[in-house]
Amino acid sequence: MSKRFTYWNSFSSAPAVTPLFDAYGGASVGYSLRKLATSTVYVVRVRRSSDNLELDFSDTDITDGTLTAWTGANDGLVSIWYDQSGNDNNLTQTTTTLQPKLVSVGVVITDGGKPAIDWGSTGKYMDMDNSLGNNRSIFYVNKSTTLARNMSFLLGDSSKYDYHPGHSNDGYLISSTYAAAAVKNGTNYINSILTNFSATPRPFTQSLLTLIHAASASVSNVSKDRTYGFRSWQGTIQELVIYPTDETVNRIGIEDNINAEYTIY
């Protein structure tokens, strides 16, 4: 791969935050547009809309102008979101019409001044290389754009609906009827504040969602409901980290690390 140039950029230049996994390892998966581990090289693979060429980019490439110099005045769609946990369980989408967007008409999409992946109005999702059946703790930076019933699954699975959202137009994060007991009966937080996800609408602002499950839950994609692709997430996603363990003891430390990067609350 040829060396790419570095360009001036307008992203904030706050002091670097310690990579999350350097302090809190053991995650099943970790997807972000920042570096979660010192060893991380590339965080995402992007497809250029003008000619369908694909290229890997680091977190620095996204913010220093390298990515947009390559896309030009075109869109950049995400074909692979790399897992930084060391388990190589990447998120992948090979169907071009289903890929979420990182660059829109030559401009990196952002939320709160940080790069963000836009999942559009409906139908975009990415599959994990290997499904997970032992999720216990989830840390998720996202923003929703709809309260429509049955829409915007936080996470999806090929056969289960453990993360089923509100099934009326209340737009609740989790359904009190259909979501798995392990998820709805766990301890859930928005911006580090204990919150009942079965009675709280999806936030329309950049938010850190924390879910500590009462038992294991299943996931194989972000964020299609079984065969119903149109129920996928609507809005932006910036970071998703899943642990196979109850991270109650480390919760505040993990949340502080994430908030230090995004300054959400």
Q: Which residues of 60-91 are buried (b: 16+ CB within 10 A; e: fewer)?
A: ebbbbbbbbebbeebbbbbbbbbbbbeeebbb
User: What is residue 121's predicted lDDT score, i.e. its pLDDT?
Assistant: 82
Does the residue 6 lie in any domain? no
User: What is residue 4's predicted lDDT score, i.e. its pLDDT?
Assistant: 44
SS3 for 142-186, per residue? EEECCCCCCCCCCCEECCCCCCCCCCCCCCECCCCCCCCHHHHCC
Does the residue 83 lie in any domain? yes
Does the residue 5 lie in any domain? no
Where the chain has pLDDT below 50, the residues are 1-8
Here the CATH number for the domain that contains residue 108 is: 2.60.120.200
Does the residue 213 lie in any domain? yes
Does the residue 26 lie in any domain? yes
pTM for the full model? 0.94
User: What is residue 167's predicted lDDT score, i.e. its pLDDT?
Assistant: 84
User: What is residue 13's predicted lDDT score, i.e. its pLDDT?
Assistant: 55
Residue numbers of the domain that contains 174: 20-262
Q: How many domains does the chain have?
A: 1
